[in-house]
């Protein structure tokens, strides 16, 4: 496994490789878990070499405190990556990526950026677009892997490569869950014992909502989910939305033709958790 800290050295190394090999790229913010590993394994199956980046991107955090408290476990991450096939790890510093201009570019993602996460995390997707575009320019992968855990992000990255004609295939990967259903997340390590015990409630509620939707209207199900969270003393609901899988616009009425998903963002104390499932 090769570890790079400087983009020029990474690019030199990759240029030699790309002549004869396909690169699968997996961008992460570290604090790696089995969800990340599942993306890397998929990349390994579909490419000659896999490149993982570990970079906590400052421009996608709307709150300074959230950026400060984001878990950083680089030693453990590199050790975990040694346990699987991972050819290249890129661990740049903030100045390596941004020089002294730590600002996001501005993107038009045809409205995808204004739904759900976009409403609650101002500028988040400008930060995501900036870093992912930058990494694509540096790594030049054939394929890049993103989790459905961040479903809106996945759709936005698809839009990014379409709009900027970036020659990379975006591969969506299923959500990897704990045995009790909680979606794996780097933030889970910050949960207290009581919060961790309660956190699978998010997935369980999504599953029940899916079941209810078979007979109830969209509005009834939304009200039911909101009511369930009001009764929960540990988790505070930020939003529950039923949205079209592609446009991410809210669904008002059930339809057999459209494909839609349920999305939840909820807080356990100051820890923000998100999850989503297909509803039809
Ligand atoms: P992050 O380090 O949280 O920025 O995540 C890096 C990539 O891993 C993103 O594409 C995430 O969507 C994906 N990811 C994170 N958690 C999971 C999970 N539980 N299952 C599948 N993919 C995930």
Q: What is the DSSP string of 213-275?
A: TTTS-HHHHHHHHHHHHHT-SSEEEEEEEEEETTT-PBP-S--SSS-EEEEEEEEETTEEEEE
- DSSP H or E segment with residue 277: strand 271-278
pLDDT at 171 over 80: yes
Per the annotation, the verdict on 120 as an active-site residue is no
CA-only gyration radius of the chain, Å: 19
pLDDT at position 15, please? 85
- Pocket test residue of 30, 36, 51, 263 for ligand 1, highest count of atoms within 8 A of CB: 36
Q: Is 42 in the pocket of ligand 1 (CB under 6 A)?
A: no
| Mean pLDDT rounded to a whole number for the chain | 96
**Rama region for 278: left / alpha / beta (φ>0; ψ in -120 to 50; rest):** beta
**Cα distances (Å, whole numbers) of residue 16 to 10, 43, 111:** 10, 20, 39
Q: Is the CB of 127 under 6 A from ligand 1?
A: no
Per residue in 207-237, pLDDT (tens digit) is 999 999 999 999 999 999 999 999 999 999 9
Which member of 13, 36, 120, 244 is catalytic?
36
- The pLDDT score that the predictor gives to residue 20 is 73
What average pLDDT score do residues 8-32 get?
90
- Percentage of the chain beyond pLDDT 90 is 96
Residue 274 tokens, joined: 């998100």
Q: What is the largest CA-CA distance in the chain?
A: 58
Per-residue pLDDT band for 16 (boundaries 50, 70, 90) equals confident
d(CA 128, ligand 1 centre) in Å: 13
Predicted local confidence at residue 19, as pLDDT: 72
Confidence of residue 17 (pLDDT cuts 50, 70, 90): confident
In order of their start, the domains of the chain are: 2-173 (3.40.50.620), 186-278 (3.30.1300.10)
236 - beta bridge partners? Answer: 267
Structure confidence at residue 196 (pLDDT): 98
pLDDT of residue 106: 98
Query: How would DSSP label each residue in 119-134?
Result: HHSTTHHHHHHHHHHH
pTM, two decimal places: 0.95
Look up residue 177 and give its DSSP letter. B
How far, in whole angstroms, is CA 256 from its chain's centroid?
28
Q: What number is the average pLDDT over the span 93-121? A: 97
């Amino acid at each position: 496994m090769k570890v790079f800290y400087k983009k020029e050295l990474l690019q030199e190394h990759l240029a030699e490789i790309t002549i004869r090999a396909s690169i699968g790229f997996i961008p992460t913010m570290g604090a790696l878990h089995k969800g990340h590993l599942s993306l890397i394994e998929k990349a390994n199956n579909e490419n000659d070499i896999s490149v993982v980046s570990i970079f906590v991107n400052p421009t996608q955090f709307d709150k300074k405190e959230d950026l400060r408290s984001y878990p950083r476990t680089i030693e453990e991450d590199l050790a975990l990556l040694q346990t699987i096939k991972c050819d290249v790890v890129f661990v740049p510093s903030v100045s390596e990526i941004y020089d002294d201009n730590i600002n996001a570019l501005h993107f038009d993602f045809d409205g995808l950026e204004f739904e759900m996460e976009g409403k609650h995390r101002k500028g988040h997707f400008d930060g995501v677009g900036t870093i992912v575009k930058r990494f694509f320019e540096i790594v030049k992968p054939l394929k890049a892997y993103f989790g459905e855990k961040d479903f809106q992000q996945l759709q936005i990255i698809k839009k990014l490569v379409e709009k900027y004609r970036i020659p990379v295939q975006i591969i969506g990967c299923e959500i990897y869950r704990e045995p009790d259903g909680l979606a794996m997340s780097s933030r889970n390590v910050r949960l207290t014992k009581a919060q961790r015990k309660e956190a699978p409630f998010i997935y369980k509620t999504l599953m029940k909502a899916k079941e209810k939707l078979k007979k109830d209207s969209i509005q009834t199900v939304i009200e039911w989910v909101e009511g369930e969270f009001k009764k929960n003393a540990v988790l505070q609901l930020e939003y529950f939305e039923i949205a079209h899988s592609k446009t991410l616009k809210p669904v008002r009425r059930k339809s057999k033709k459209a494909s839609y998903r349920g999305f939840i963002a909820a807080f356990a104390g100051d820890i923000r958790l998100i999850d989503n499932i297909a509803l039809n």
